[in-house]
């Protein structure tokens, strides 16, 4: 299996193109750059080819990366169906912990402050929650069926 952006076969894994349940196969380098937000324009020269993909998720991700890189010359040549364009322009909330680290589904986090739970006990500072879910609530993560504000956690 190869990366659908650059063609590399280095540790290729599915990457969800939010907010839909559609995935693109990405290599470790593409995935790390996208998740960190630090894009190397030289590495993403590959977008010249991926912008012509038949797969909507690849085109949407390519569009977003070209936009972030400020490559209006390529954006002007790119064609998206109206539903793909709406998807590409959907604002996706990037959830970050109290220290600015990007959170993802499946991460482990630690609570940095004692928190009172409505109708329950207290979550103590230092408690670790594994395999969190980001959920749809802005500014919150879901851990063990409890919504916790991202300002009170740090990624472990």
Q: Can you give the pLDDT at residue 70?
A: 94
Intervals of the chain under pLDDT 70? none
Query: Against a cut of 0.95, is the pTM above it?
Result: no
Q: What is the pLDDT of residue 37?
A: 80
**The pLDDT value given to residue 55:** 96
Q: Residue 46's pLDDT is what?
A: 94
Please tell me the predicted confidence (pLDDT) of residue 100. Answer: 86
Q: With CA atoms as reference, report the closest residue to 50 among 37, 63, 67.
A: 63
pLDDT in tens, 57-82: 999 999 999 999 999 999 999 999 99
Q: Give pLDDT, residue 93.
A: 76
pLDDT value at residue 59: 97
pLDDT at 45: 95
Element (H, E) at 22: strand 22-26
Q: How far apart are CA 78 and CA 71, in angstroms?
A: 11
In the prediction, which pLDDT does 14 show? 95
- Token pair of 69 as six digits: 């890189």
Q: Domains of the chain: which residue ranges?
A: 13-88, 109-155
């Amino acid at each position: 299996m190869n990366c659908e952006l650059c063609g590399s076969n280095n540790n290729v894994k599915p990457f969800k193109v939010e907010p839909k349940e559609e995935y693109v196969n990405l290599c470790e380098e593409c995935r790390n750059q996208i998740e960190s937000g630090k894009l190397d324009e030289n590495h993403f020269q590959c977008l010249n080819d991926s912008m012509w993909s038949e797969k909507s998720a690849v085109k949407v991700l390519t569009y977003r990366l070209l936009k972030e890189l400020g490559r209006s010359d390529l954006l002007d040549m790119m064609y998206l169906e109206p539903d793909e364009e709406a998807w590409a322009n959907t604002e996706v909330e990037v959830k970050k912990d109290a220290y600015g680290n990007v959170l993802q589904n499946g991460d482990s986090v630690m609570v940095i402050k004692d928190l009172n739970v409505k109708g329950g006990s207290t979550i103590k500072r230092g408690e670790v929650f594994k395999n969190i879910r980001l959920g749809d609530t802005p500014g919150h993560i879901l851990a063990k069926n409890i919504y916790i504000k991202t300002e009170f956690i740090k990624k472990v």
